[in-house]
Structure 1
Amino acid sequence: MEALIFDTHRGTSHDGEGLRTTFFFQGCPLQCRWCHNPEGIPSKPYIKWEARKCIGCHTCIKVCPRNILGFTETGLGIDRARCTRCGICTKRCPSKALQISARAWTIDELVGYALKDKHFYDSFNGGVTFSGGEAALQGPFILEAAERLHAIGINVALDTSGYCTPELFESIFLPFDCILFDLKIADKDLHKKFTGAGNEFILQNLACIAQKKRNSEYTGEVWIRTPVIPSATDSEENILSLANIVDTYRDVINRWELCAFNNMCKSKYRSLGIAWEYMETDLLPQARMQRLFQITKKVLEEKVPVVCTGLTAKAHDS
């Protein structure tokens, strides 16, 4: 059994409790306009080009069997509609400026990689997190991998958008020690506008987690995460609506995280040749995040711990 993984991060502290290793699985059913991992959205890998590594030797252009590469004023152009991702250009690129964004991993490889840091997990109450993309789309793989990791005493978390069929979600989430569950937008029409799909599956799957936890069939933790995106998810109306949803499940939710927008992924969009509407968007003002935080506190009244994470912009000194 294999799965496509486009990135790994060791020593993370924001993808669950303690010190963790995070695996990012290829493919996502949503098209969030602010996505920080655009290379993880398609089901197949991208060919990406990093200008800072390129030495301008034109080897890639010469070896491409479909003649779809060429330099322009803005850098290397790739006709992605005709690209078969054969990888010849990436293998022949002497400076590694061209790379395929993901590769296939076996469960043995994943477990072996995770084991490198087991002493850190044990020392800092950490473990492994499956993220993406959307890891749930590779359900049989992550289910078996989670069971293998549990067998050797490693805590496993699932970071999910919640968007997959309820049948699939119910079949995979029970073995995980923690579910990091995204709630982005309460209104289904706005959710579709900004992510490409409605939120019906997401709300059904959250209800499923709650039912299983209330029945003691699921014994792990549930963390809700909301990306706070300018002019998309950051309206007071949306945060209030989400707070009411969280309040409905206050007996099963262990934490709600408001994740401030950041634009640190600019280079990813450039390397993939993708225009990004948030390229020039500034960080959220600190006062704005504090206002949204206060809205959640007013609704939840300490019944669910709420935390704000990420960088925010301080007001300029007068």
Structure 2
Amino acid sequence: MTENTVTGMVTKVQRMSIHDGPGIRTTLFLKGCNFRCRWCHNPETWRREAQLERIAERCIACGACVPVCRTGALRPEEGGIGIDRERCDACGLCAAVCPARAMHLVGREVSADGLMRELRRDVPYFEESGGGVTLSGGEPLLQPAFVREVLSRCRAEGIPTAVETNLSVPSELIEELLPLVGLWMCDLKLADDSRHRRWTGMSNARTVANLRLLGRRGVPLIVRTPVVPGVNDTPEAIGAVCTLLKDLEGLLYYELLGFHTLGADKYACLGMENPMPGAEPLPPERLERLREAAAATGIKVK
């Protein structure tokens, strides 16, 4: 049998996940995102292509990577190895010879056939727990052909599906995928479009329009807002989001996600600047007050 030629670029396939939908799930993190949220904890998913990650604290400065670099992007420097990001083509040769695993290639291309072989191993866990497969990112819907193929094959094999998305894609794509997606998990960061542009680099117009589309279809839907200090951590900002959600049929609940700093070190590893250095998580009592403000609008809140 010839392997399916539809391929996608992923950062990882995370098995035994319990945070990306009901039950035990296998989450596929796809590369590429059209937002540039300043608080993002997965900056390795912004770009569509593979990237070289260097974990400085692992580097033993042995220099094994320097001679194998075909573009001359690596050089010894005090405390380790320097990377010329303009020259680096993310070939992965340095990662292959690094004895300390300080060099790591983020992103691999997988075929639909190869991925399905991975996913089938977890079917017993899905069946026992009510779980399934979740496509996430980045923004998974920026790889529509691959997403369509994977969702279609999961549906054909009876594997429950979910998608985590910012919904900032053409509505025609959402309509096309509706029969293939069992659960939509959608981010809405801010209701105010000008502030949304300021903090994410994109308008929220498509997101809002597609949320209303999903609401009209009455499909199972979870909407989430990452609560970020100085961005949307007020009752007014959260209340404005809830106002947009109140009449959505199929809305299972609204979820507030507290900002965290777990991805802060990734920026340096990728040679990127952290847009929000020094930002701290909100105290639990502050999140609780925002949850109360959201619940006061009449929607179910987590």
Same fold per TM (> 0.5)?
Answer: yes
Equivalent in the alignment of 1:116? 121
Partner of 1:126: 131
Q: Encode CA deviations 1:2-39: one digit per residue, 9 max, x unaligned.
A: 00000121111111111111000010011111111100
Find the aligned partners of 2:40 and 2:263 in 1 and give their Cα distance.
9
Q: Residue type of the partner of 1:224?
A: V
Q: Secondary structure at the match of 1:205?
A: helix
Other-structure match for 1:50: 55
* Higher deviation after alignment, 17-26 or 269-278: 269-278
Q: Corresponding residue for 2:161?
A: 156
Equivalent in the alignment of 1:60? 65
Q: CA deviation at 1:82?
A: 2.3
CA displacement, residues 46-98 of structure 1 (integer Å, 9 cap, x when unaligned): 10012243222112222222222224456432221222222222223233321
User: Which segments of 5 or more consecutive residues in structure 2 lack a partner in the other structure?
Assistant: 1-5
Deviation at 1:174, TM superposition (A): 3.2
Which of 279, 292, 295 pairs up with 1:294? 292
- In structure 1, C-alpha distance between the alignment counterparts of 2:99 and 2:213, rounded to whole Å: 50
Q: Is the 8 A contact 1:24 1:135 kept in 2?
A: yes
Q: Percent identity?
A: 33
In structure 1, what residue type is equivalent to 2:267? Y
Match of 2:224 in 1: 225
Residue 223 of structure 1 aligns with an amino acid whose one-letter code is I
- Of 261-270 and 240-249, the range deviating more from structure 2: 261-270
Alignment of structure 1 residues 249-260 onto 2, 5 Å:
249=248, 251-260=249-258
Which of the residues 273, 276, 282 maps onto 1:275?
273
Give secondary structure in 1 for the equivalent of 2:296: helix
Contact 1:263–1:279 (8 Å) recurs in 2 = no
Structure-1 separation of matches of 2:274 and 2:168: 23
Contact kept? 2:253, 2:300, Cα under 8 Å: yes
Q: Structure 1 length as normaliser, TM-score?
A: 0.89
Correspondence for 1:95: 100
* 2:29 alignment counterpart: 24
Contact 1:39 1:46 in 2 (8 A): yes
Task: Report the aligned-residue RMSD.
Answer: 1.6
Is the Cα contact below 8 Å between 1:64 and 1:88 reproduced in 2? yes
Counterpart check, 1:199 vs 2:204: yes
Asked whether the 8 Å contact 2:61–2:76 carries over to 1, the reply is no
For 2:291 and 2:15, the matched residues in 1 are separated by: 30
- Give the gaps of 5 or more residues in structure 1: 214-219, 308-318
* CA contact 1:136–1:172 (8 Å) conserved in 2: no
> Partner amino acid for 1:208?
L
Give the AA of the match of 2:11. F
Aligned equivalents of 1:91 and 1:176: distance in 2? 38
Give the match for residue 305 of structure 1: 300
Number of matched pairs: 297
Q: Aligned partner of 1:267: which letter?
A: D
SS in 2 for 1:39: helix
Q: Supply the AA of the counterpart residue of 2:224.
A: R
Q: Counterpart of 2:3?
A: none
Task: Calculate the TM-score normalised by the size of structure 2.
Answer: 0.93
* Counterpart Cα distance in 1 of 2:220 and 2:173: 20
Measured at CA, do residues 66 and 136 of structure 1 come closer, stay the same or move farther in structure 2, by a change above 3 Å? same
CA distance in 1, matches of 2:214, 2:235: 26
Structure 1 partner of 2:14: 9
> Within 5 A, what are the aligned runs for 1:63-78?
63-73=68-78, 75-78=80-83
Q: Is the 8 A contact 1:170 1:205 kept in 2?
A: no
1:38 aligned partner: 43
Match for residue 194 of structure 2? Answer: 189
Q: Is the 8 A contact 2:61 2:80 kept in 1?
A: no
Instruction: Report what 1:313 is aligned to.
Output: none
Does 82-91 or 252-261 show the bigger shift?
A: 82-91
What do residues 229-249 of structure 1 show as CA deviations (whole Å, max 9, x unaligned)? 111121222101001011131
2:86 corresponding residue in structure 1:
81
